[in-house]
Amino acid sequence: MGEIIDLKGMLKELDESVRDELKTAPEVVDSGTTLDISKLPIEARRWLKVSGVFAVVADLKGSTKLGTGKRAASTASIYEAGTGNIVKIFNRFDADFIAIQGDGALALFWDEQCFERAMCAAITIRTFSADFSERLEKKWPDSPETGFKVGVAEGRLLVKRVGTPRNPNEQEPIWAGKAVNYAAKAAQAADRHQVIVTGSVWDLVEKNDYLSISCGCPSGPSLNIWSNVEIKNLPDGEPEAQGRMLFAGWCELHGPQFCQAIMDGEKKRDDVAHLRAEVQKSQFGNLLAEKARKARELRHLGPR
């Protein structure tokens, strides 16, 4: 026989802790754009507020169809070679926080070069995804179609460590705020080998020639690597829902140079000045996108 569970007592205790939590507002400390995750409080009812955090979520397509029966070996390999390598990519771009979530992974980037690191990681996952699924399909032609769907969002987050005091194994930072949720929704809305960025992430992408305009292979630099997308699973009227979708990965020829330029903080390319104005115009004519852009501009004038 197992030990006796005092269910009634447990539920009463939980209810009392909810009551106590709601009695007084927790303290929120502004941490600016930086954060030392090792110093997060666990017992104190204190949350830290971090601004300008980029969240990247990579989701494995078709993972619900991966079985553990006859196909256990292929399922295990797909997870190991898939999720394991996504974490490697996040690490390579110095993600400030990484969590494996189900069949995918979440990374957060804050502080220096956070936008650049997040975008380079996202595009690298997109590039890796195509090679990854090609290899899988060769080895297991009858396995379900798979590959990574990527979402990127940005915003302010609240964070606190929760779990069992004095047992680090049972503690985890929890993140509250739209960026994590919206990145996950953007990833869900994508197909495999696609990166979807929310509205305010696009506002930054369009200011960087290396991200917004293709390298030019094979027929000259163009804007057709991105298209408008409405992230339908976000709340109605949310300006972030008017996002953009990237189809392309790093070019085999120019990718290394572009990635380095972005990480070095470069933004302008000499060869594409004529296309730069077109980038902003590329959302014109799409009334929803234009309205959302104005709403984001106004939002960004106020507190973030």
Nearer to Zn ion, 71 or 254 (CB): 254
Nearer to Zn ion, 73 or 217 (CB): 217
Residues 112 and 116: their CA atoms lie apart, in Å, by: 9
Nearer to Zn ion, 107 or 119 (CB): 119
Rg (CA), the chain: 22
x/- track of binding to Zn ion for residues 203-222 (CB under 5 A): ------------x-x-----
Nearer to Zn ion, 152 or 213 (CB): 213
Please state the closest distance from residue 195 (CB atom) to Zn ion, in A: 17
Nearer to Zn ion, 63 or 222 (CB): 222
- Residue pair 292/239 in contact (Cβ under 8 Å)? The answer is yes
Please state the closest distance from residue 92 (CB atom) to Zn ion, in A: 21
Please state the closest distance from residue 218 (CB atom) to Zn ion, in A: 8
Please state the closest distance from residue 126 (CB atom) to Zn ion, in A: 15
Please state the closest distance from residue 254 (CB atom) to Zn ion, in A: 4
Residues 242-261 that bind Zn ion (CB under 5 A): 251, 253-254
Nearer to Zn ion, 154 or 209 (CB): 209
One-character DSSP codes across 37-57? GGG--SSS-EEEEEEEEEEEE
Q: Identify the three-state secondary structure at position 233.
A: coil
Residues 80 and 77: their CA atoms lie apart, in Å, by: 5
Residue in 147, 153, 83, 148 with CA at minimum distance from that of residue 118: 153
Please state the closest distance from residue 272 (CB atom) to Zn ion, in A: 13
**Number of residues forming the site for Zn ion (CB under 5 A):** 5
Distances from the Cα of 17 to the Cα of 24, 41, 45, 98, 117, angstroms: 12, 18, 12, 29, 40
- Helices 255-263 and 114-139: crossing angle in degrees, nearest 10, is 150
When asked if residue 99 is in the footprint of Zn ion (CB under 5 A), the reply is no
**Rule CB under 5 A: which residues touch Zn ion?**
215, 217, 251, 253-254
